[in-house]
């Protein structure tokens, strides 16, 4: 009897252990602090590189910047409309009921503001929606990618051209753009824009409803205090594994609800921001749904670190829309660090599958910040050649090792 009980406990313990230890370690490594820190470093370096681009300060971009500020003001006004309506209703109620000695009216207004900004993320939604109306952000990404290539060549002009990495912009610019605000025929453009907006609204609406439902369930007596910690556990279990997720669950139980909501929404919104910022790349290089899922999973920590830095800046009133544009331009620099240069469209068959796994992740993570643009070769001294078209020339350049 005791022996059978012991065997049963042993079986349960084995079942609780990861089936593939190497796979579990790789999962945690994708989201480790070092990867997140490197992503945040790329936020700073990418923004600095983007702001050095003289094309960012042309009259056309000044006009877009003015429109962005105007859009920021409009977004601010749209967000305040429901709050203004509630204040007006409370003022009318105050004509008949004495509210001087009660605080529930102020609590209602503060609660509504918190739901709009932290639960539903309305400002972020309105900024992201602009991508599906105008091709400005896509153009900014491509111009910045061209600038990154030009800067790379300028920094290594004294090096042997055979040792330089291949270029990104010339080939990527040849790919037809499929998606929102594509610069194609008018009829196709309208169809693409409508399809993109519909998908975006469905995606954001689903996330907003789930967020609101979880937040409302957290007010249920007795079990409500466990709702948000349970959501935290479920969210991070797939990202970092069961044991760290249990720690996050325990911290969530003692953490005030307001801060736990902000923590969860920052995580989800940073991931959503990265998907939106990478849209110019994925609208040209076609990945299957499964390939795209694995691509994001492989780079999860770096993408989160990159996205969370910009997401925090996006919350600055009025200028958040301007920050969004800088984030899009900076993403061009990020792409050159986490993917290989694309081949010409005629040779693109099978390219997406080769990019699912980030082949040089560990080497890139170990580079010091000052050597992110280092010229690299394969370990055996051989190089993989890729015919790439540099700006104004056609030169045989090898692919870089640190992608």
Q: How many independent structural domains does the chain possess?
A: 1
Mean pLDDT of 60-88: 66
178 lies in a domain? yes
Q: How confident is the model at residue 109 (pLDDT cuts 50, 70, 90)?
A: low
As a whole number of angstroms, the distance between CA 195 and CA 84 comes to: 33
The fraction of the chain above a pLDDT of 70, given in percent, is: 62
pLDDT, greater one: 379 or 234: 234
Alpha-helical segments (H) within 17-58: 21-30, 33-51
**pLDDT > 90: percent of the chain:** 12
Residue 225 lies in a domain: yes
CA 276, CA 272: separation in Å to the nearest integer? 6
Beta-carbon contacts of 109 under 8 Å, excluding residues fewer than 6 positions away, are: 83, 86, 87, 90
Whole-number pLDDT of residue 117: 56
- Its domain, for residue 32, covers 25-398
Q: Is residue 10 part of a domain?
A: no
The more confidently predicted of residues 190 and 23 is 190
* SS3 per residue for 257-290: HHHHHHHHHHHHHHHHHHHHHCHHHHCCCCCCHH
CA distances from 379 to 343, 372, 376, 383, 403 (A): 23, 18, 9, 9, 15
175 pLDDT exceeds 50?
yes
Q: What is the pLDDT of residues 282-337, one digit of tens each?
A: 989 989 989 999 999 889 889 999 998 888 888 777 677 778 888 988 999 999 99
Residue 240, pLDDT above cutoff 70? no
How high does pLDDT run on average in the chain? Answer: 73
- What confidence tens digit (pLDDT) does each residue in 338-367 have? 999 999 998 888 899 999 988 888 888 887
Does pLDDT of 382 surpass 90? no
pTM given for the model: 0.72
Is residue 12 situated within a structural domain?
A: no
**Can you tell me the mean pLDDT for 133-146?**
84
What stretch of H or E contains 394? strand 393-398
For 377, list phi and psi in degrees, rounded to 5.
-130, 170
Give the model confidence (pLDDT) of 242-287 as tens digits.
Answer: 777 888 888 888 888 778 888 888 888 888 889 889 999 998 998 9
Q: Which residues contact 116 (CB under 8 A, 6 or more apart)?
A: 79, 82, 83, 122
9 occurs within a structural domain: no
- Most confidently modeled of 86-90, 222-226, 298-302, 371-375? 298-302
Per-residue pLDDT for 42 more than 80? yes
- Please give the distance of CA 364 from its chain centroid, rounded to a whole number: 20
**338 assigned to some structural domain:** yes
- Residue 170's pLDDT band (cuts 50, 70, 90): very high
Within-domain flag for 19: no
First to last CA, the chain: 58
Q: Is residue 8 part of a domain?
A: no
Mean pLDDT lowest for which of 33-47, 173-187, 237-251, 333-347? 173-187
Question: Would you say residue 387 has pLDDT above 50?
Answer: no
């Amino acid at each position: 009897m005791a022996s059978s009980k012991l065997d049963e406990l042993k079986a349960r313990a084995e079942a609780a252990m990861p089936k593939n230890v190497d796979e579990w370690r790789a999962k945690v490594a994708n989201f480790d602090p070092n990867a997140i820190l490197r992503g945040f470093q790329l936020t700073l370096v990418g923004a600095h590189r983007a702001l050095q681009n003289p094309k960012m300060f042309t009259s056309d971009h000044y006009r877009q910047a003015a429109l962005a500020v105007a859009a920021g003001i409009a977004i601010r006004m749209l967000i305040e409309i429901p709050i203004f309506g509630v204040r007006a209703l409370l003022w009318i109620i105050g004509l008949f009921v004495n509210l001087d000695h009660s605080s529930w009216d102020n609590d209602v207004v503060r609660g509504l503001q918190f739901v709009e900004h932290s639960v539903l993320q309305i400002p972020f939604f309105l900024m992201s929606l602009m991508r599906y109306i105008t091709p400005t952000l896509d153009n900014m990404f491509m111009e910045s990618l061209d600038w990154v290539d030009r800067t790379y060549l300028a920094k290594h002009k004294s090096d042997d051209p055979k040792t330089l990495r291949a270029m990104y912009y010339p080939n990527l610019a040849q790919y037809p753009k499929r998606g929102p605000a594509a610069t194609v025929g008018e009829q196709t453009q309208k169809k693409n824009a409508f399809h993109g907006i519909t998908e975006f609204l469905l995606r954001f609406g689903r996330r907003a409803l789930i967020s609101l439902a979880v937040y409302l369930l957290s007010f249920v007596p007795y079990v409500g205090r466990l709702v948000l910690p349970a959501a935290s556990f479920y969210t991070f279990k797939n990202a970092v594994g069961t044991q760290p997720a249990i720690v996050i669950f325990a911290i969530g139980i003692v953490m005030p609800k307001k801060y736990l909501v902000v923590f969860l929404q920052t995580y989800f919104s940073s991931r959503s921001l990265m998907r939106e910022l990478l849209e110019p790349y994925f609208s040209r290089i076609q990945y299957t749904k499964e390939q795209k899922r694995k691509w994001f999973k492989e780079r999860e920590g770096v993408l989160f670190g990159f996205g969370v830095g910009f997401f925090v800046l996006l919350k600055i009133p009025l200028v958040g829309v301007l920050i969004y544009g800088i984030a899009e331009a900076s993403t061009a620099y990020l792409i050159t660090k986490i993917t290989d240069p694309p081949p010409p469209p005629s040779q693109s068959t099978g390219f997406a599958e080769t990019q699912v796994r980030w082949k040089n992740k560990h080497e890139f993570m170990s580079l010091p910040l000052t050597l992110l643009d280092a010229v690299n070769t394969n370990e055996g001294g051989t190089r993989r050649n890729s015919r790439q078209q540099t700006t104004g020339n056609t030169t045989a350049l090898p692919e870089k090792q640190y992608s």
